[in-house]
Structure 1
Amino acid sequence: MKNIFVVSDIHGHYDQFVQVLSFWDKKDTLVILGDLIDRGPQSLQVIQKVLALKDEFGDQVIVCLGNHEDMFIDYLNFPDIKQDRFFKNGGLDTIRNFQAQLPNDFMTVNPVMQVEMIKEKYAREISMITTSKIFVIIGNVLFTHAGFDSNFETIDNTSAEDFLWIRKHYLTQNRTPYINVFGHTPVHLIHDSSDVWVSEDAKYIGIDGGCYMTGQLNALHISEAGEILNIYKSVIDPPNN
Protein backbone atom coordinates (compact mmCIF):
# COMPACT_ATOMS: atom_id res chain seq x y z
CA MET A 1 0.00 0.00 0.00
CA LYS A 2 1.40 3.36 -1.06
CA ASN A 3 1.12 6.39 1.20
CA ILE A 4 1.25 10.00 0.02
CA PHE A 5 2.34 13.21 1.72
CA VAL A 6 0.59 16.22 0.17
CA VAL A 7 1.28 19.96 0.33
CA SER A 8 -0.33 22.79 -1.62
CA ASP A 9 -0.26 26.56 -2.12
CA ILE A 10 3.14 27.32 -0.61
CA HIS A 11 3.20 30.72 -2.33
CA GLY A 12 6.85 31.44 -1.73
CA HIS A 13 6.77 30.73 2.00
CA TYR A 14 9.95 28.70 2.24
CA ASP A 15 10.17 28.45 6.04
CA GLN A 16 6.70 26.93 6.36
CA PHE A 17 7.50 24.52 3.54
CA VAL A 18 10.67 23.30 5.23
CA GLN A 19 8.81 22.89 8.52
CA VAL A 20 6.08 20.67 7.11
CA LEU A 21 8.62 18.66 5.11
CA SER A 22 10.15 17.61 8.43
CA PHE A 23 7.05 15.40 8.89
CA TRP A 24 7.47 13.68 5.51
CA ASP A 25 8.49 10.03 5.71
CA LYS A 26 10.94 9.69 2.82
CA LYS A 27 9.49 6.27 1.96
CA ASP A 28 6.25 7.98 0.92
CA THR A 29 5.40 9.77 -2.30
CA LEU A 30 5.51 13.57 -2.02
CA VAL A 31 2.84 15.40 -4.03
CA ILE A 32 2.85 19.20 -4.28
CA LEU A 33 -0.41 20.59 -5.62
CA GLY A 34 0.86 23.77 -7.24
CA ASP A 35 1.14 27.45 -6.41
CA LEU A 36 4.72 27.19 -5.29
CA ILE A 37 5.18 30.81 -6.30
CA ASP A 38 3.83 34.38 -5.96
CA ARG A 39 2.72 36.53 -3.03
CA GLY A 40 5.44 35.28 -0.69
CA PRO A 41 9.07 36.38 -0.29
CA GLN A 42 10.97 33.24 -1.39
CA SER A 43 9.38 31.72 -4.47
CA LEU A 44 12.76 30.99 -6.06
CA GLN A 45 13.98 29.17 -2.94
CA VAL A 46 10.79 27.07 -2.87
CA ILE A 47 11.24 26.10 -6.52
CA GLN A 48 14.89 25.25 -6.00
CA LYS A 49 14.07 23.19 -2.91
CA VAL A 50 11.58 21.16 -4.94
CA LEU A 51 14.17 20.75 -7.71
CA ALA A 52 16.68 19.45 -5.15
CA LEU A 53 14.09 16.99 -3.83
CA LYS A 54 13.34 15.79 -7.36
CA ASP A 55 17.07 15.38 -7.99
CA GLU A 56 17.38 13.26 -4.85
CA PHE A 57 14.12 11.29 -4.94
CA GLY A 58 13.20 11.28 -8.63
CA ASP A 59 9.66 10.23 -9.51
CA GLN A 60 8.84 9.92 -5.82
CA VAL A 61 8.33 13.70 -5.90
CA ILE A 62 5.39 14.80 -8.05
CA VAL A 63 4.54 18.42 -8.81
CA CYS A 64 1.17 19.56 -10.10
CA LEU A 65 0.65 22.85 -11.90
CA GLY A 66 -1.18 25.60 -10.05
CA ASN A 67 -3.01 28.57 -11.48
CA HIS A 68 -0.15 30.85 -10.44
CA GLU A 69 2.33 28.74 -12.40
CA ASP A 70 -0.17 28.92 -15.26
CA MET A 71 -0.04 32.72 -15.14
CA PHE A 72 3.76 32.59 -14.96
CA ILE A 73 3.90 30.42 -18.10
CA ASP A 74 1.55 32.85 -19.87
CA TYR A 75 3.86 35.69 -18.87
CA LEU A 76 6.90 33.84 -20.22
CA ASN A 77 5.13 33.11 -23.50
CA PHE A 78 3.42 36.49 -23.98
CA PRO A 79 5.27 39.03 -21.81
CA ASP A 80 3.92 42.10 -23.61
CA ILE A 81 0.28 41.26 -22.92
CA LYS A 82 0.43 39.02 -19.83
CA GLN A 83 2.90 40.85 -17.59
CA ASP A 84 0.30 43.09 -15.91
CA ARG A 85 -1.97 40.18 -15.01
CA PHE A 86 0.90 38.12 -13.62
CA PHE A 87 2.38 41.00 -11.64
CA LYS A 88 -0.98 42.07 -10.17
CA ASN A 89 -1.63 38.53 -8.87
CA GLY A 90 1.58 38.22 -6.86
CA GLY A 91 3.99 37.61 -9.71
CA LEU A 92 5.89 40.82 -9.01
CA ASP A 93 6.98 39.30 -5.68
CA THR A 94 8.34 36.31 -7.58
CA ILE A 95 10.18 38.44 -10.13
CA ARG A 96 11.72 40.58 -7.39
CA ASN A 97 12.90 37.37 -5.76
CA PHE A 98 14.41 36.22 -9.08
CA GLN A 99 16.00 39.64 -9.60
CA ALA A 100 18.76 39.05 -7.06
CA GLN A 101 20.49 36.74 -9.55
CA LEU A 102 19.72 38.77 -12.68
CA PRO A 103 21.58 41.70 -14.31
CA ASN A 104 21.33 45.05 -12.56
CA ASP A 105 19.38 46.61 -15.42
CA PHE A 106 16.73 43.88 -15.37
CA MET A 107 13.82 46.02 -14.12
CA THR A 108 14.54 48.82 -16.61
CA VAL A 109 14.40 46.78 -19.83
CA ASN A 110 11.22 45.91 -21.71
CA PRO A 111 9.16 42.82 -20.77
CA VAL A 112 10.40 40.74 -23.72
CA MET A 113 14.03 41.27 -22.72
CA GLN A 114 13.18 40.58 -19.07
CA VAL A 115 11.69 37.23 -20.02
CA GLU A 116 14.74 36.33 -22.11
CA MET A 117 16.95 37.00 -19.08
CA ILE A 118 14.70 34.85 -16.87
CA LYS A 119 14.66 31.99 -19.38
CA GLU A 120 18.44 32.04 -19.67
CA LYS A 121 19.15 32.20 -15.93
CA TYR A 122 16.39 29.88 -14.69
CA ALA A 123 16.10 27.24 -17.41
CA ARG A 124 15.89 24.29 -14.98
CA GLU A 125 13.36 26.00 -12.75
CA ILE A 126 11.17 26.88 -15.73
CA SER A 127 11.45 23.36 -17.13
CA MET A 128 10.22 21.88 -13.86
CA ILE A 129 7.23 24.22 -13.85
CA THR A 130 6.28 23.70 -17.49
CA THR A 131 6.49 19.91 -17.18
CA SER A 132 4.35 19.74 -14.04
CA LYS A 133 1.26 17.55 -14.15
CA ILE A 134 -2.28 18.86 -14.53
CA PHE A 135 -3.58 16.22 -12.09
CA VAL A 136 -2.43 12.96 -10.52
CA ILE A 137 -4.34 9.79 -9.65
CA ILE A 138 -2.82 7.43 -7.10
CA GLY A 139 -5.02 4.53 -6.12
CA ASN A 140 -8.43 5.88 -5.11
CA VAL A 141 -7.26 9.48 -4.80
CA LEU A 142 -7.41 12.27 -7.37
CA PHE A 143 -4.93 15.04 -6.60
CA THR A 144 -5.64 18.42 -8.22
CA HIS A 145 -4.66 22.01 -7.67
CA ALA A 146 -8.17 23.46 -7.89
CA GLY A 147 -10.55 20.57 -8.46
CA PHE A 148 -12.51 19.11 -11.37
CA ASP A 149 -15.85 19.58 -13.09
CA SER A 150 -18.11 17.82 -10.58
CA ASN A 151 -21.13 18.05 -12.88
CA PHE A 152 -19.90 14.80 -14.42
CA GLU A 153 -19.29 11.28 -13.08
CA THR A 154 -15.88 11.15 -14.77
CA ILE A 155 -12.95 13.54 -14.88
CA ASP A 156 -12.70 13.05 -18.65
CA ASN A 157 -14.94 16.10 -19.15
CA THR A 158 -12.73 18.40 -17.08
CA SER A 159 -10.63 20.91 -19.01
CA ALA A 160 -7.04 21.69 -18.13
CA GLU A 161 -8.20 25.17 -17.13
CA ASP A 162 -10.73 23.76 -14.65
CA PHE A 163 -8.13 21.51 -13.02
CA LEU A 164 -6.15 24.70 -12.31
CA TRP A 165 -8.82 27.36 -11.78
CA ILE A 166 -12.24 25.93 -10.85
CA ARG A 167 -14.04 27.18 -7.73
CA LYS A 168 -16.75 25.66 -5.55
CA HIS A 169 -16.71 22.29 -7.30
CA TYR A 170 -16.97 20.73 -3.84
CA LEU A 171 -20.53 22.07 -3.47
CA THR A 172 -21.67 19.41 -5.94
CA GLN A 173 -21.59 15.73 -4.98
CA ASN A 174 -18.45 13.93 -6.10
CA ARG A 175 -19.77 11.07 -8.23
CA THR A 176 -16.38 9.97 -9.54
CA PRO A 177 -14.71 6.86 -8.09
CA TYR A 178 -12.06 9.08 -6.51
CA ILE A 179 -11.53 11.06 -3.35
CA ASN A 180 -10.44 14.52 -4.48
CA VAL A 181 -7.62 16.21 -2.57
CA PHE A 182 -7.33 19.83 -3.68
CA GLY A 183 -5.81 23.22 -2.85
CA HIS A 184 -6.47 26.58 -4.50
CA THR A 185 -9.44 27.60 -2.31
CA PRO A 186 -8.28 28.64 1.17
CA VAL A 187 -10.20 26.35 3.48
CA HIS A 188 -11.24 29.17 5.79
CA LEU A 189 -13.65 30.09 2.99
CA ILE A 190 -15.23 26.64 3.34
CA HIS A 191 -15.40 26.01 7.08
CA ASP A 192 -14.19 29.09 8.98
CA SER A 193 -10.86 27.47 9.88
CA SER A 194 -7.44 27.25 8.25
CA ASP A 195 -7.22 23.55 9.11
CA VAL A 196 -7.73 20.80 6.54
CA TRP A 197 -11.39 20.44 5.54
CA VAL A 198 -13.05 17.07 4.85
CA SER A 199 -16.55 16.86 3.37
CA GLU A 200 -19.22 14.87 5.21
CA ASP A 201 -18.97 12.00 2.75
CA ALA A 202 -15.14 12.24 2.78
CA LYS A 203 -15.04 12.50 -1.03
CA TYR A 204 -13.47 15.97 -0.92
CA ILE A 205 -10.45 17.07 1.11
CA GLY A 206 -9.34 20.72 0.94
CA ILE A 207 -5.86 21.47 2.24
CA ASP A 208 -5.04 25.10 1.34
CA GLY A 209 -4.41 26.82 4.67
CA GLY A 210 -4.15 30.22 2.97
CA CYS A 211 -0.49 30.43 3.97
CA TYR A 212 0.18 33.80 2.34
CA MET A 213 -2.62 35.32 4.48
CA THR A 214 -2.60 33.19 7.63
CA GLY A 215 0.94 31.87 7.93
CA GLN A 216 -0.46 28.32 8.07
CA LEU A 217 0.72 25.68 5.61
CA ASN A 218 -1.10 22.35 5.83
CA ALA A 219 0.16 18.90 4.90
CA LEU A 220 -1.90 15.74 4.52
CA HIS A 221 -0.68 12.18 4.98
CA ILE A 222 -3.07 9.87 3.13
CA SER A 223 -3.07 6.29 1.87
CA GLU A 224 -3.74 5.41 -1.75
CA ALA A 225 -7.05 3.97 -0.51
CA GLY A 226 -7.99 7.44 0.68
CA GLU A 227 -7.57 6.92 4.43
CA ILE A 228 -6.30 10.00 6.22
CA LEU A 229 -3.29 8.89 8.24
CA ASN A 230 -2.28 12.23 9.72
CA ILE A 231 -2.59 15.97 9.28
CA TYR A 232 0.22 18.42 9.92
CA LYS A 233 0.53 22.17 9.85
CA SER A 234 3.22 24.78 10.12
CA VAL A 235 2.14 28.03 11.68
CA ILE A 236 4.33 31.11 11.49
CA ASP A 237 3.12 34.63 12.25
CA PRO A 238 0.93 35.83 9.39
CA PRO A 239 2.72 38.01 6.83
CA ASN A 240 2.27 41.75 6.97
CA ASN A 241 1.62 42.16 3.25
Structure 2
Amino acid sequence: MTFWTTLYHRLNRRNAGSQSSLAPDAPFVAIGDIHGRLDLLETLVAKIDEQAPNLPLIFLGDYVDRGPDSAGVLSRLKSLDDTPSRQTTCLMGNHDVMMLDFLDHPEQDGPRWLNYGGIQTLESFGIPPMDQSPTMMRDQLLSKIDPSLLSWLRQRPLIWQSGNIVASHAGGNPNRPIEPNREHSLLWGHPDIHTKPRRDDLWVVHGHFADDEAYIKNNRICVDTRAHRSGQLTAAIISPESVEFIST
Protein backbone atom coordinates (compact mmCIF):
# COMPACT_ATOMS: atom_id res chain seq x y z
CA MET A 1 0.00 0.00 0.00
CA THR A 2 1.26 3.46 -0.89
CA PHE A 3 0.41 6.50 1.18
CA TRP A 4 1.42 10.14 1.10
CA THR A 5 2.63 12.42 3.84
CA THR A 6 2.92 16.14 3.25
CA LEU A 7 4.47 18.61 5.68
CA TYR A 8 4.61 22.33 5.02
CA HIS A 9 7.04 24.76 6.64
CA ARG A 10 6.79 28.53 6.57
CA LEU A 11 10.34 29.46 7.49
CA ASN A 12 11.65 32.16 9.75
CA ARG A 13 14.81 32.58 11.79
CA ARG A 14 13.28 31.30 14.99
CA ASN A 15 11.83 27.99 13.82
CA ALA A 16 14.45 27.09 11.20
CA GLY A 17 17.59 28.06 13.11
CA SER A 18 18.57 30.07 10.06
CA GLN A 19 20.93 32.98 9.62
CA SER A 20 19.34 34.10 6.33
CA SER A 21 16.08 33.89 4.46
CA LEU A 22 15.52 31.04 2.02
CA ALA A 23 15.61 32.71 -1.39
CA PRO A 24 15.92 30.51 -4.49
CA ASP A 25 15.61 32.30 -7.82
CA ALA A 26 12.46 30.27 -8.50
CA PRO A 27 10.67 27.28 -6.94
CA PHE A 28 12.13 23.82 -7.55
CA VAL A 29 11.88 20.26 -6.25
CA ALA A 30 14.78 18.33 -4.62
CA ILE A 31 14.50 14.53 -4.44
CA GLY A 32 16.43 12.44 -1.92
CA ASP A 33 18.46 9.24 -2.20
CA ILE A 34 16.67 6.65 -4.36
CA HIS A 35 18.98 3.62 -3.95
CA GLY A 36 17.49 1.35 -6.57
CA ARG A 37 13.82 1.90 -5.69
CA LEU A 38 12.36 2.49 -9.14
CA ASP A 39 8.88 1.79 -7.79
CA LEU A 40 9.11 4.68 -5.33
CA LEU A 41 10.67 6.97 -7.91
CA GLU A 42 7.79 6.46 -10.33
CA THR A 43 5.22 7.02 -7.61
CA LEU A 44 6.89 10.16 -6.28
CA VAL A 45 7.39 11.72 -9.73
CA ALA A 46 3.69 11.18 -10.44
CA LYS A 47 2.79 12.94 -7.19
CA ILE A 48 5.17 15.82 -7.95
CA ASP A 49 3.55 16.20 -11.36
CA GLU A 50 0.22 16.63 -9.57
CA GLN A 51 1.40 19.03 -6.87
CA ALA A 52 4.25 20.90 -8.52
CA PRO A 53 3.86 20.55 -12.29
CA ASN A 54 6.68 21.88 -14.46
CA LEU A 55 8.99 22.79 -11.58
CA PRO A 56 12.66 21.87 -12.09
CA LEU A 57 13.60 18.48 -10.61
CA ILE A 58 16.93 18.21 -8.78
CA PHE A 59 17.94 14.67 -7.86
CA LEU A 60 20.49 14.56 -5.05
CA GLY A 61 22.46 11.42 -5.98
CA ASP A 62 22.76 7.82 -4.77
CA TYR A 63 20.68 6.27 -7.52
CA VAL A 64 22.24 2.82 -7.23
CA ASP A 65 22.90 0.10 -4.62
CA ARG A 66 20.85 -1.56 -1.87
CA GLY A 67 17.46 -1.49 -3.59
CA PRO A 68 16.31 -4.00 -6.23
CA ASP A 69 16.35 -1.98 -9.47
CA SER A 70 19.34 0.32 -9.83
CA ALA A 71 19.41 -0.40 -13.58
CA GLY A 72 15.84 0.81 -13.94
CA VAL A 73 16.46 3.91 -11.83
CA LEU A 74 19.43 4.98 -13.95
CA SER A 75 17.50 4.50 -17.19
CA ARG A 76 14.49 6.40 -15.86
CA LEU A 77 16.59 9.33 -14.63
CA LYS A 78 18.45 9.59 -17.93
CA SER A 79 15.09 9.58 -19.71
CA LEU A 80 13.88 12.43 -17.49
CA ASP A 81 17.13 14.31 -18.06
CA ASP A 82 16.69 13.92 -21.83
CA THR A 83 13.13 15.28 -21.76
CA PRO A 84 13.25 18.89 -23.00
CA SER A 85 9.88 19.82 -21.50
CA ARG A 86 11.06 19.34 -17.89
CA GLN A 87 14.24 20.83 -16.47
CA THR A 88 16.00 17.98 -14.67
CA THR A 89 19.39 17.89 -12.97
CA CYS A 90 20.81 14.66 -11.55
CA LEU A 91 23.72 15.23 -9.17
CA MET A 92 26.44 12.73 -8.32
CA GLY A 93 26.25 10.72 -5.10
CA ASN A 94 28.93 8.73 -3.29
CA HIS A 95 27.33 5.38 -4.19
CA ASP A 96 27.30 6.38 -7.84
CA VAL A 97 31.00 7.20 -7.54
CA MET A 98 31.68 3.82 -5.90
CA MET A 99 30.07 2.07 -8.86
CA LEU A 100 32.21 4.07 -11.28
CA ASP A 101 35.33 3.33 -9.20
CA PHE A 102 34.48 -0.36 -9.41
CA LEU A 103 34.27 -0.13 -13.19
CA ASP A 104 37.65 1.64 -13.36
CA HIS A 105 39.50 -0.38 -10.68
CA PRO A 106 37.55 -3.57 -9.97
CA GLU A 107 40.14 -5.41 -7.87
CA GLN A 108 40.98 -2.36 -5.76
CA ASP A 109 37.53 -0.82 -5.32
CA GLY A 110 35.24 -3.76 -5.95
CA PRO A 111 35.16 -5.30 -2.43
CA ARG A 112 34.06 -2.07 -0.76
CA TRP A 113 31.37 -1.41 -3.35
CA LEU A 114 30.00 -4.95 -3.11
CA ASN A 115 29.77 -4.61 0.68
CA TYR A 116 27.79 -1.37 0.43
CA GLY A 117 25.06 -2.50 -1.96
CA GLY A 118 26.89 -3.22 -5.19
CA ILE A 119 25.66 -6.81 -5.21
CA GLN A 120 22.07 -5.62 -5.60
CA THR A 121 23.13 -3.29 -8.42
CA LEU A 122 24.82 -6.13 -10.29
CA GLU A 123 21.73 -8.30 -9.84
CA SER A 124 19.56 -5.54 -11.31
CA PHE A 125 21.65 -5.80 -14.48
CA GLY A 126 21.21 -9.59 -14.50
CA ILE A 127 24.69 -10.39 -13.17
CA PRO A 128 25.05 -13.04 -10.44
CA PRO A 129 27.89 -11.88 -8.18
CA MET A 130 28.84 -15.23 -6.65
CA ASP A 131 32.03 -17.15 -7.49
CA GLN A 132 33.42 -14.51 -9.80
CA SER A 133 36.38 -12.19 -9.50
CA PRO A 134 35.71 -8.44 -9.36
CA THR A 135 37.24 -8.08 -12.82
CA MET A 136 34.90 -10.69 -14.27
CA MET A 137 31.91 -8.95 -12.71
CA ARG A 138 33.14 -5.60 -14.04
CA ASP A 139 33.46 -7.02 -17.55
CA GLN A 140 29.93 -8.41 -17.39
CA LEU A 141 28.55 -5.09 -16.18
CA LEU A 142 30.26 -3.26 -19.03
CA SER A 143 28.66 -5.70 -21.45
CA LYS A 144 25.20 -5.08 -19.96
CA ILE A 145 25.10 -1.34 -19.41
CA ASP A 146 24.34 0.99 -22.30
CA PRO A 147 27.50 3.01 -23.07
CA SER A 148 25.43 6.18 -23.36
CA LEU A 149 23.98 5.55 -19.89
CA LEU A 150 27.45 5.06 -18.44
CA SER A 151 28.71 8.21 -20.12
CA TRP A 152 25.73 10.12 -18.72
CA LEU A 153 26.45 8.86 -15.19
CA ARG A 154 30.09 9.91 -15.39
CA GLN A 155 29.06 13.44 -16.31
CA ARG A 156 26.87 14.10 -13.29
CA PRO A 157 27.68 17.42 -11.60
CA LEU A 158 28.43 17.82 -7.89
CA ILE A 159 26.39 20.97 -7.20
CA TRP A 160 23.44 22.98 -8.48
CA GLN A 161 22.53 26.45 -7.26
CA SER A 162 19.46 28.69 -7.35
CA GLY A 163 19.68 31.99 -5.52
CA ASN A 164 21.11 31.39 -2.07
CA ILE A 165 20.43 27.64 -1.98
CA VAL A 166 22.94 25.02 -3.15
CA ALA A 167 22.02 21.41 -3.80
CA SER A 168 24.60 18.65 -3.41
CA HIS A 169 24.58 15.03 -2.32
CA ALA A 170 26.08 15.40 1.16
CA GLY A 171 25.97 19.12 1.88
CA GLY A 172 29.66 19.95 1.99
CA ASN A 173 31.83 21.35 4.76
CA PRO A 174 30.06 24.21 6.59
CA ASN A 175 33.44 25.80 7.35
CA ARG A 176 34.45 26.14 3.69
CA PRO A 177 33.01 27.63 0.50
CA ILE A 178 30.85 25.28 -1.54
CA GLU A 179 32.91 24.67 -4.67
CA PRO A 180 33.02 21.74 -7.12
CA ASN A 181 36.71 21.14 -6.37
CA ARG A 182 35.82 20.24 -2.75
CA GLU A 183 34.57 16.89 -3.96
CA HIS A 184 35.00 14.75 -0.85
CA SER A 185 32.73 16.72 1.48
CA LEU A 186 30.12 17.20 -1.24
CA LEU A 187 29.93 13.43 -1.78
CA TRP A 188 30.74 11.99 1.65
CA GLY A 189 29.80 14.82 3.98
CA HIS A 190 31.61 16.48 6.86
CA PRO A 191 31.02 15.86 10.60
CA ASP A 192 30.60 19.56 11.35
CA ILE A 193 27.50 19.73 9.18
CA HIS A 194 25.45 18.41 12.11
CA THR A 195 26.53 21.03 14.61
CA LYS A 196 27.79 24.15 12.82
CA PRO A 197 25.61 26.44 10.70
CA ARG A 198 27.07 28.01 7.60
CA ARG A 199 28.23 31.60 7.94
CA ASP A 200 27.97 32.63 4.29
CA ASP A 201 24.16 33.08 4.16
CA LEU A 202 23.80 30.04 1.91
CA TRP A 203 21.27 27.28 2.44
CA VAL A 204 22.03 23.72 1.40
CA VAL A 205 19.65 20.94 0.40
CA HIS A 206 21.14 17.45 0.50
CA GLY A 207 20.66 13.75 1.10
CA HIS A 208 23.26 11.22 2.33
CA PHE A 209 22.62 11.63 6.06
CA ALA A 210 19.61 9.34 6.41
CA ASP A 211 16.94 9.97 9.02
CA ASP A 212 13.43 8.74 9.68
CA GLU A 213 11.99 12.01 8.39
CA ALA A 214 13.16 14.92 6.30
CA TYR A 215 14.15 17.91 8.39
CA ILE A 216 15.29 21.53 8.37
CA LYS A 217 18.11 22.71 10.63
CA ASN A 218 20.76 25.44 10.55
CA ASN A 219 20.22 26.48 6.93
CA ARG A 220 20.05 22.83 5.84
CA ILE A 221 17.24 20.85 4.26
CA CYS A 222 17.89 17.09 4.42
CA VAL A 223 15.69 14.72 2.40
CA ASP A 224 17.28 11.26 2.75
CA THR A 225 14.66 9.05 4.43
CA ARG A 226 16.19 5.57 3.84
CA ALA A 227 14.03 4.85 0.81
CA HIS A 228 15.58 1.46 0.10
CA ARG A 229 14.50 0.18 3.52
CA SER A 230 11.67 2.39 4.71
CA GLY A 231 9.69 2.64 1.49
CA GLN A 232 9.70 6.41 2.05
CA LEU A 233 11.26 8.41 -0.77
CA THR A 234 11.06 12.12 -0.03
CA ALA A 235 11.05 15.31 -2.05
CA ALA A 236 11.17 18.93 -0.94
CA ILE A 237 9.25 21.56 -2.90
CA ILE A 238 11.36 24.64 -2.18
CA SER A 239 10.09 28.18 -2.71
CA PRO A 240 11.15 31.51 -1.22
CA GLU A 241 10.56 31.22 2.54
CA SER A 242 8.82 27.85 2.37
CA VAL A 243 9.51 24.11 2.09
CA GLU A 244 6.92 21.42 1.50
CA PHE A 245 7.93 17.78 2.04
CA ILE A 246 6.24 15.01 0.08
CA SER A 247 6.98 11.34 0.79
CA THR A 248 5.81 8.00 -0.49
TM-score using structure 2 length: 0.81
Q: How does 1:145-164 map to 2 (within 5 A)?
A: 145-152=169-176, 154-156=177-179, 159-164=182-187
Q: After TM superposition, give the deviation of residue 173 of structure 1 in Å.
A: 1.4
Once the two structures are TM-superposed, the CA of residue 75 in structure 1 deviates from its matched residue by 0.3
SS in 2 for 1:31: strand
Return the alpha-carbon distance in structure 2 between the equivalents of residues 26 and 120 of structure 1: 37
| Structure 1 Cα separation of the partners of residues 137 and 34 of structure 2 | 25
Is the 1:37–1:43 Cα contact (8 Å) retained in structure 2? Answer: yes
> Deviation of residue 125 (structure 1)?
2.2
RMSD: 2.2
Q: Is the 8 A contact 2:80 2:86 kept in 1?
A: no
Distance in structure 2 (CA, Å) of the matches to 1:106 and 1:208: 28
* Letter paired with 1:212: H
- Bigger RCO of structures 1 and 2 (CA < 8 A, at least 6 apart): 2
Which residue number corresponds to residue 183 of structure 1? Answer: 207
2:112 is the counterpart of 1:85: yes
C-alpha spacing 1:222/1:164, structure 2 compared with 1 (3 Å): same
Q: Please say if 1:35 is aligned against 2:62.
A: yes
| Distance (whole Å) between structure 2 residues aligned to residue 231 and residue 108 of structure 1 | 43
Distance 1:107 1:12 in 2: 20
Q: How many Å apart are 1:57 and its aligned residue?
A: 3.2
Identify which range, 166-175 or 73-82, moves more after superposition.
166-175
Alignment of 1:165 with 2:181, yes or no, is no
Rounded Cα–Cα distance in structure 2 between residues aligned with 1:217 and 1:155: 26
Q: Which runs of 4+ in 1 moved over 6 A?
A: none
| Equivalent of residue 54 in structure 1, options 68, 81, 84 | 81
Match of 1:191 in 2: none
Instruction: Measure, in 1, the Cα distance between the counterparts of 2:107 and 2:119.
Output: 15
C-alpha contact 2:119 2:129 (8 A) present in aligned 1: no
Identity %: 26
Letter in 2 for 1:231: F
8 Å Cα contact 2:54-2:86 kept in structure 1: no
Q: How far off its partner does 1:129 sit?
A: 1.4
- 1:72 equivalent to 2:60? Answer no
- TM-score of the superposition, structure 1-length normalised? 0.83
Which residue matches 1:115?
138
- Which residue type is aligned with residue 208 of structure 1? D
1:215-237 deviation digits (Å, cap 9, x = unpaired) = 211110012x4x33421000xxx
Decide whether aligned partners of structure 1 residues 211 and 157 sit closer, same or farther in structure 2, where only a CA change above 3 A counts.
closer
Instruction: List gaps (5 residues or longer) in structure 2.
Output: 1-24
- Deviation (angstroms), 1:181: 0.5
Correspondence 1:208 to 2:231: no
Contact 2:171 2:185 in 1 (8 A): yes
Alignment-derived partner of residue 217 in structure 1:
233
Equivalent-residue separation in structure 1 for 2:200 and 2:144 (angstroms):
42
